[in-house]
Chains A and B, each alone.
Chain A
Amino acid sequence: MRRRLVVATLALAAVFAALAAVDRAARLAPRGAPLDEAEARAALARLRRVAGGGGEGAPDALLARARPTILYATAWSGGRPTQRARGEGATLAAALDDAARRLGLPPSAVRYKLDLLVGEGPLPSLPEPLLAASLVPGRDGVAATRDGARADLLPDDLLADGLYARALQGAFARALAGADLELGADVSAIRRRLARALETARPPSLRRTRWDQWIEPATPGAPPLPVERGHLARTPARAHAPLVAAARLGGDYLLAHLHPDGRFDYEYYPDADQSPPTDEFAYSLPRHAGATLYLADLARATGDRRLLDGATRALAWLAAQHPPGTSAVAAPSERTLSLGATALASVAASAHQRAAAALGVPVDDALAAWATALARHLTAQQLPDGDFAHFYVLDTNGGGRRDEATHVLYASGEAALALAARARAVPAEAATLAPAVDRALTALITANDRTFATQFFFVEDHWTCIAAEAAWELLPSTTRARAARYCADFAAFLRRSQHHADDALGRADPDLVGAYGFTPLLAAHPTPVGSRTEALLATRAMAARLGHDTRALDAMIDDGLAFLLRHQLGDDALYWAPAPSAARGGVLLSDVGRRVRIDFVQHAGAALLRAAEEVWYSGRP
């Protein structure tokens, strides 16, 4: 017995020793302290002065203290790093002067960026898939040395070339349908680039680096800006004015990418200033409807006629997207009509009607008739248990049948919201629609009781909670209470996956606070932050009406809004984009997935607008 105990203890000790060895092998060693704002301001000013030929000037006490420094100074112009130089020295000033002398005179108007080495550690020799998952996307750089020479790939380089993460493919990606996940750095490409920089044919061994990053603002004279993962690490205030301004910026982005025929640039790549063409199957009609909805809601909130006109144009294009013989929304050549596209089109049409009424603009008769037809299609798709058939299959005789067996994400929640929105837009139909809305919401909030497994988690219930709040006036008190409880549970579930300032990950990666996830190795996505924040705002509104405590919700909402504001593209953040005006107001898939899609902007904008209207607008500081 005693012998077994000794063996077990030794085995346990061996495991802990192995863990400690792995931790030691992978841990970054500090290489310098990050700058504070005053130091960064002084450092960037000195860099600009010396690089511009203005001389080193008087020694600056902030930069003169002893601190062995490795840094890179980069001149950004036209969205490109036009000049870059490494500087090393015993003080920050010496390293800056070293880099500035190598940079030489800037060719045109530039923004200088400093990357200061603050951590470095080995990248252990691991099998490629493990090595690929060993870089924190957007945050880690990679270095290699050979015969005393050193080459670095900074986070900006890895972001620009998309080397941090590859989109998942194959069966795993299909199982995570629609999740837009990226995982695993392109280590082979990183090795090739570093080998080229070191002029060696042999693949160099790699080191992981961490950088403190500061850039000059787009507006000369403003304070320097900290950068993390390619976005600004500083969070604007969450007050009514900045929230409305950010929401408007999202609307301006959509207007800038709305074509005369009413179709959007579905995706835009800011680092290439390109919108790739999309065919009728790649262009998502539900997302087009969502973007239109956002323009209409923003028009109603701001009274801006430009936004209403944009929404009208986008809606008119959407109304033309249907196969012969039906008003339901689908690509004209499609034979299977999905509920979600028609539901979101209906929500957009209702929002447009309300916006037009608010601005005193008459709605075109054809659009009004189309909106009525959409609502009719949705009620015809409702099943006896309150849920909806998610597809309608057209036959060759002009008729069709409901497909009641196949379910997809979001569709039932979108349809419930569509009926509630229709009741708000056309009060004369409210009494008729109320029972259908009640049944739809009851089905939604009991759907997870159908199987054992789904009683432990929620999938994506943001539309459910947005619909419940929108339908509040139509619902009996029992359904209101159940819906509010369900959404409070949904919020509690979300809270467990949101990064908070007081948890370990929030302390290590403060720019991720407010995002949802469980590791910094998977890049955080702003779009779920937007949709969930909007749902949390709806949940908060219901809780407040029932007199419940909303403090936990407020904290989640505040963190989510801060994250969205940090991730909305503005001129200061777009140093890496050749055409900042085209990207302004956009929201990326993630820090490492540098593309803007219309629904990314819609979800983030809707959360910002709703927050401005419902929480901070009503007197909260």
Chain B
Amino acid sequence: MTSDRERAHPLLGVVALVSSVLALWVGLTVTPSRSSAFTVAFVAVEALSAAAGLGLVGAAITTRGRAGARTFARVAATAQLALAAIVVVLLALSAAWLRGIYGALGEGLAWAAIVAAALVVEALAIVPIVQLVVLRERRR
């Protein structure tokens, strides 16, 4: 018998897919980074997350490969969460540096960096956390 949580998997897949596409759009057009290394890592992780979302939807439709799709989704969610954590840490370090070096202006920039970190948590961390929670429950 299929549980409520399992029935939620395709919805989770759609949410992951949409949020990754949105994140890619924001990250590449609205707030692009001038760092090639970051851009490559960001695109790779978001592409992985989008593919995992597609996998969850596909597995639900075809009723095949559900276990593999779940594992893939967990890996992608973990990678996305790790990226979000790294970005938040780097933003916090930047805020500290800007505040220390640039005086009053740096204080403003530091606040902007902290607000950006909060937005990163919302945009990049919430969906993978929900994914991991839902998918882990299923595993138990």
Contacts and interface: CB of A to CB of B under 8 A. Distances in A.
A321 interface: no
Interface centre among A176, A455, A496 (most CB of B within 10 A): A455
30 contacts: A174-B107, A175-B111, A177-B105, A177-B108, A178-B105, A406-B103, A407-B103, A408-B105, A409-B102, A409-B105, A448-B34, A451-B90, A451-B93, A451-B94, A451-B98, A452-B38, A452-B90, A453-B91, A453-B94, A453-B95, A453-B98, A453-B113, A453-B116, A455-B33, A455-B38, A456-B32, A456-B34, A456-B116, A457-B31, A459-B109
B97 to A, nearest CB: 5
Given A451-B94, A451-B97, A489 B105 contact: no
Contacts of B137: none
Contacts, number: 67
A406 B98 CA distance: 11
A452 B105 contact: no
Interface residues of A, number: 24
B94 to A, nearest CB: 3
Interface of B: 4, 7-8, 30-35, 38, 87, 90-91, 93-95, 97-98, 101-105, 107-109, 111-113, 116
A453 B90 contact: yes
Interface string A450-473: 111111110100000000000000
A405 interface: yes
Given A406-B103, A451-B97, 15 more contacts: A174-B107, A175-B104, A175-B107, A175-B111, A407-B102, A408-B105, A452-B35, A453-B90, A453-B95, A453-B98, A455-B34, A456-B33, A457-B31, A459-B105, A489-B34
Given A405-B101, A408-B103, A453 B109 contact: yes
Nearest to A458: B34
Interface in A141-189: 174-178
A406 B103 CA distance: 7
A177 B104 contact: yes
Nearest to B102: A407
Contacts of A452: 35, 38, 87, 90-91, 93-94
A453 B116 CA distance: 9
Contacts of A178: 105
Contacts of B7: 1
Contacts of A405: 101
A178 B105 CA distance: 8
Interface in A405-422: 405-409
A170 to B, nearest CB: 12
A1 B8 CA distance: 9
Interface in A323-374: none
Nearest to A485: B34
A407 B91 contact: no
Contacts of A454: 94, 98
B19 to A, nearest CB: 17
A174 B104 contact: yes
Interface centre among A1, A174, A177, A453 (most CB of B within 10 A): A453
Contacts of A457: 31
A302 B109 CA distance: 41
Contacts of A456: 31-34, 116
Contacts of B35: 449, 452, 455
B6 to A, nearest CB: 11
B102 A408 contact: yes
A561 to B, nearest CB: 27
Contacts of A455: 33-35, 38
B7 to A, nearest CB: 6
Contacts of B87: 452
A177 B104 CA distance: 6
Contacts of B34: 448-449, 455-456, 489
Contacts of B116: 453, 456
Interface centre among B4, B31, B104 (most CB of A within 10 A): B104
Contact of A450 (B33, B97, B103): B97
Interface centre among A176, A178, A409, A456 (most CB of B within 10 A): A456
A451 to B, nearest CB: 4
A598 to B, nearest CB: 22
Given A452-B93, A452-B94, A453-B113, A176 B38 contact: no
Contacts of A406: 101, 103
Contacts of A177: 103-105, 108
Contacts of B104: 174-175, 177
A9 to B, nearest CB: 14
B25 to A, nearest CB: 14
Contacts of A176: 108
Contacts of A489: 34
Nearest to B108: A175
A158 to B, nearest CB: 29
A177 B35 CA distance: 28
A174 B98 CA distance: 15
B10 to A, nearest CB: 12
A173 to B, nearest CB: 9
Contacts of B94: 451-454
Closest 10 CB pairs of A and B: A453-B94, A452-B90, A175-B108, A177-B104, A451-B94, A453-B113, A455-B35, A175-B107, A455-B34, A407-B101
A236 B8 CA distance: 61
B124 to A, nearest CB: 14
A451 B91 CA distance: 8
Contacts of B90: 451-453
A221 B89 CA distance: 66
A403 B4 CA distance: 64
Contacts of A175: 104, 107-108, 111
Nearest to A4: B4
A22 B134 CA distance: 37
Nearest to A486: B34
Interface centre among B8, B108, B116 (most CB of A within 10 A): B108
A456 B101 CA distance: 18
Nearest to B30: A496
B37 to A, nearest CB: 10
A405 B99 CA distance: 12
Interface string A384-405: 0000000000000000000001
